[in-house]
Amino acid sequence: MIAQACGFVAEKLTAAGIPTTHDPRDLNLPGAWVTPGEIDLNRLGKGAGDYEVVIALIAPDAGGLSTLTMLDDLLAKAITAGVGLTTVEPGTVQLENLAPGSLPALIATVTIEMS
């Protein structure tokens, strides 16, 4: 069910025009990386519950306004994807295959109900 929850979010983001992957080695910037978060198995069914999916909207470090513009575009597309974004925090992501240092990102967690 973890793969289904992450896959659901990835499909929605991709359909909204954001290159999205589960594997950071396959990430094209600007784009999104989805990973599993906390799982609350609060239902009677096998594996049923609330699955958090962490979304990192990542831009290349193009500097100043260029980076902010890319992050803004990613966020606008993610909002239209309809995955239930509520709180988004600025942060950085370390992806050695794409850059020697940290990359600017917006990080959000969404909850997907799985039954």
CATH numbers and ranges of domains, the chain: 2-114 (3.30.70)
Average pLDDT, the chain: 92
Reply yes or no on whether the pLDDT at 100 is more than 80. Answer: no
Place of tokens 């609350």: 40
Query: CA nearest 54: which of 35, 82, 39, 74?
Result: 35
Confidence of residue 101 (pLDDT cuts 50, 70, 90): confident
Which whole number is the average pLDDT over 47-75? 93
Query: CA nearest 83: which of 16, 1, 4, 3?
Result: 16
- The model's pTM is 0.92
Confidence of residue 62 (pLDDT cuts 50, 70, 90): confident
Confidence of residue 96 (pLDDT cuts 50, 70, 90): confident
Token reading at 26: 């396959």
Question: 86: part of which helix (H) or strand (E)?
Answer: none
